[in-house]
Amino acid sequence: MAGHRAQWKGHLKIGDLSCAVGLYTAASTSDRISFNMINESTGNRLKREFIDSETEEVVERDQQVKGFETDNGDYIMIDPDEVAAVIPDSDKMLEAEAFVPCGKIDDVYFDKPYYLVPVDDADHEAFTSIRDALSKTSATAIARTVLFRRMRTVLIRAHGKGIIATTLNYDYEVRTSKEAFKDVAKVKVEAEMLDLAKHIIGTKKGDFDPAKFEDRYEDALAALVKAKAEGKTLPKPKPIKVSKPNDLLKALQESAGMEKSSAKKPKAANANSGKKATASKSTKSRAKPAKKKAS
Amino acid sequence: MAPRRPYWRGYLKLSLVTCPVAMTPATSESEKVRFHTLHKETGNRVVSQYIDSITGKPVKDEHEAKGYERGENDYVLLTDEDLEAVELETVRTIDIEKFVPRGSIEWVYLETPYYLTANDKIGDEAFAVIRQAMEAESVVGISRVVLGRRERAVVLEPRGQGIVVWTLRFGDEVRPENEYFSGIDKKSDAKGVSAIEAVIKKRMKDWSPEMVSDPIQESLLKLIADKKKAKKQSKAKTSKSKEDDDGEEESNVVNIMDALKKSVAKELQSRKAG
């Protein structure tokens, strides 16, 4: 635990039992490849600056305030203290309000994961009791608290020797799958086709370790840049052939036959077998300066 | 929430079966209360613009280009069309390479959810075959796709009439859990566990989006609405007497703040009690 700093410290409470805990960031986000913005006519790099939309004068940070737009297009300034006053004081208590079976959680609400860890030795007994009760009942606890200046709902779930707390997105930030898929045509799939597809799936079953995945984009981009710099014509993407409804059965039959004979052979398309060089390069690329954020 | 424009259009592929698909984000910040940045002195919006770093002059949109740094101050300019020529089939195609049991991907790797549907009538049946076969086998598909100039590992999970696509975090983005959990006891006190089990069973509920409401957003919206009202009232008064104006507005705001604090406190209380 040395070297890690808790993002939040407080108490985890279920029923009458509570223990002091810390939340630690479980995942960070690395940046995509950032390009430099260039002035095409001079070849110089671009810089971003903030200007007044009417007077066009440069506005320094200390002259920038928050505001919102009224219906008639005017702007009203808002005092940060007024916004702060809306945020309730935190009681630093993650108290379980309800429990939901693990399988019943709608995961599209997931935001960010945190490792939840007991703070003192004295808290271990309460912590392990909560952890094992959650895992024995296959339940997740729903708790709410003020976290990072917002009232956040947190999903608490036992994970190995510890507990993972996931912040959840708000109702207005998520479109439910039911709504998203309500206009999808209901298609009656022929049993023969379904059996063939199931067979194909059977030949492709395996394990997957997300930690070993490698991003091949950087290498592909470097090749493209090289070709362009050398004045070569860039390859046109090949047209993609879509399976027509009339050919679908045939495509499935051929796939099923083909997969049967080649199921044992390693596939060239499996990029996890990429060279070592790719690994170090892509790590380096992600260490590049962060992409510029528009404000 | 209103339907969104597809974020990505391409193809879903299982072996020799290919169908056109569209992908839309499941989450959006569009309905979150957002403030604009204003210039304190003039009250106008603050906007950002690009200037040439050497000449200091503003640069028009049509002269802005993406540059890949080849050496110091040496850039290869790339157009969006060039970028489409990147030789990775995953730019346009989600080819399902592998299937794993449903639930076998650790939650901590799930990053961003998208909804995938067939993008043309011609693909409806192929899409349905792939989705239903995954569902029948209780598996999720593993593939990769280029999004935001990175190739991402993705999980495809059949849900309802569509497929949920999750981008997965990269290995070096997930911190090793051992560094956090190794000091925690493996064993637990049987009595303590069963006491908590009883509490859990008593308060087991179904998932509901009400569990993720945002009382602060509601308060912010109210704050904004009341400020707008206050401004309108003060404007109406301006014609009569300019003197009273500021006083009126302030006292109004103070009352709103008190009311807001109370409403948030009440909301918290009721949650605790329920």
Q: Indicate the domain borders of chain A.
A: 8-26+87-177, 191-234+245-286
Three-state DSSP class for residue A74: coil
pLDDT at position B135, please? 97
- Using the 8-state DSSP alphabet, how is residue A7 labeled? S
Three-class secondary structure of residue B168 per DSSP: strand
Looking at the complex, does the CB of residue B261 fall below 8 Å from at least one CB of chain A?
yes
pLDDT band at A293, cuts 50/70/90? very low
Q: For residue B42, what is the nearest residue in chain A, using CA coordinates?
A: A52
pLDDT value for A216: 95
One domain, residues B163 and B222? no
Q: Are B101 and B156 within one domain?
A: yes
Q: Is B169 found in the same domain as B217?
A: no
Q: Are A17 and A124 in contact (CB under 8 A)?
A: no
Residue B230 and residue B145 in one domain: no
**Is the separation of the CB atoms in A42 and B54 below 8 Å?**
yes
For residues B21 and A181, is the Cβ–Cβ distance under 8 A?
no
Q: Does residue B148 share a domain with residue B217?
A: no
Best residue in B212, B214, B222, B223 for a mutation probing chain A (most A CBs within 10 Å):
B212
The string of pLDDT tens digits covering residues B130-178 is: 999 999 999 999 999 999 889 999 999 999 999 999 999 999 999 999 9
CB A94 within 8 Å of CB A114: no
CA distance B38 to B36: 6
Between A293 and A177, the more confident residue is: A177
Q: Is B148 on the interface with A (CB under 8 A)?
A: yes
- Residue-level pLDDT at A96: 95
Question: B168 and B234: one domain?
Answer: no
Mutation for B interface: A54, A217, A262, most B CBs within 10 A: A217
pLDDT band at A149 (very low <50, low <70, confident <90, very high): confident
- The pLDDT, as a whole number, for residue B28 is 85
Q: Which residues 160-199 in chain B show a CB within 8 A of chain A?
A: 160-162, 164, 168-175, 177, 179-189, 192-197, 199
Question: Are residues B99 and B26 located together in one domain of the fold?
Answer: yes
Chain A interface test: which of B53, B70, B165 (most A C-beta within 10 Å): B53
Q: How far apart are CA B48 and CA A47, in angstroms?
A: 10
Q: Could you say which of A110, A137, A173 has the minimum Cβ distance to residue B197?
A: A137
CATH number for the domain spanning B16: value is 2.40.290.10
Domain that holds residue B268: 213-273
Are B97 and B168 found together in one domain? yes
Is B110 inside a domain boundary? yes
In the predicted model, residues of chain B with pLDDT beneath 50 are: 240-254, 273-274
Structure tokens at B231: 């401004």
| CB spacing of B137 vs A198 below 8 angstroms | yes
* Alpha carbons A5 and A25: distance in angstroms, whole number: 9
Dmax (CA) for chain A in angstroms is 72
The residue among B117, B143, B173 that closes a domain is B173
**Is A83 in Cβ contact with B223 (below 8 Å)?**
yes
pTM of the full predicted structure? 0.83
Q: Which of B89 and A280 is assigned the larger pLDDT? A: B89
Burial pattern B103-118, b for ≥16 Cβ within 10 A else e, equals eebbbbbbbbbbbbbb
- Both B24 and B142 in one domain: the answer is yes
B224 domain-assigned: yes
A25, A215, A283 member nearest B175 (Cβ): A25
Phi, psi of B46 (to 5 degrees): -100, 130
What total number of domains does chain B contain? 2
Is the pLDDT at A16 greater than 90? The verdict is no
Contacts of B265 in chain A (CB under 8 A): 88
Give the H or E element holding residue A253.
Answer: helix A248-262
Which residue from B26, B55, B85 is facing A108, i.e. has the nearest CB?
B26
pLDDT digits (tens, 9 = 90+) for A99-134: 999 989 999 999 999 999 999 888 899 999 999 999
Q: How far is CA B3 from CA A96, B22, B27, B150, B158, in A?
A: 34, 13, 11, 26, 20
Residue A273: its pLDDT value, please?
A: 42
Does B227 lie in the same domain as B138? no
Same domain, B158 and B220: no
Could you tell me if B239 and B164 lie in one domain?
no
ipTM score for this prediction: 0.83
To the nearest whole Å, the CA of A39 is away from the closest chain B CA by: 5
The topology under which CATH files domain A8-26+87-177 is Ku70; Chain: A; Domain 2 (2.40.290)
